[in-house]
Amino acid sequence: MYYIVSGYNMENKITQLRKGILELAILGALSRGRHYGYSLVRTISGTSDIDLTEGTIYPILGRLAKEGLVQTEWVESSQGPPRKYYTLTVKGEEAYRTLGEEFRKLAEIVDNARRASAPDDESADYQVLSVTKETNNG
């Protein structure tokens, strides 16, 4: 009965994938020094043509602050309104190391899986029992 409600949604998949990785990118940028929101956006999206909704970094930053991975500080700017700067805490540095290592391993898995060959069933004596149909409910 629930299958009707949620279909396959590419946008959702991309959002989910981005959320965690964006968080890691933010921690990575902050590991090189303090940033304010806009400079983070520039740093993260500046080098690629990824279509990033800039506003989405703020909820992530808010959560990181709540978790104690970053600390914040309002600093007067020589031009315009004050900027809210983010710095990595010791806990944040640790988290970045652990998550970064995990990400490296996962990227490796994805890459290896792509290269690996499928099991060689041609020689085996097997019978098709059932086939799932391709559905389109998205």
Residues of the shown chain interacting with another protein in the complex, contacts defined by CB under 8 A: 1-3, 5-6, 36-39, 41-42, 53-56, 58-60, 62-63, 74, 77, 79-84
Longest CA span, the chain: 76
Nearer to another protein, 49 or 125 (CB): 49
* 128 vs 132: CA distance, rounded Å: 11
Which residues pair with residue 36 across a beta bridge? 85
Work out how close the CB of 56 gets to another protein at its nearest, in angstroms, rounded to a whole number.
5
Residue 113 β-bridge partners = none
What three-state secondary structure class fits 41? helix
CB of 7 to another protein, least distance (A): 9
Which lies closer to another protein via its Cβ, residue 16 or residue 101? 16
Collapsed DSSP state (helix, strand, coil) of residue 37: helix
Of 36 and 96, the one with the shorter C-beta distance to another protein is: 36
CB of 125 to another protein, least distance (A): 25
Residue owning tokens 């990181």 = 64
CB of 129 to another protein, least distance (A): 17
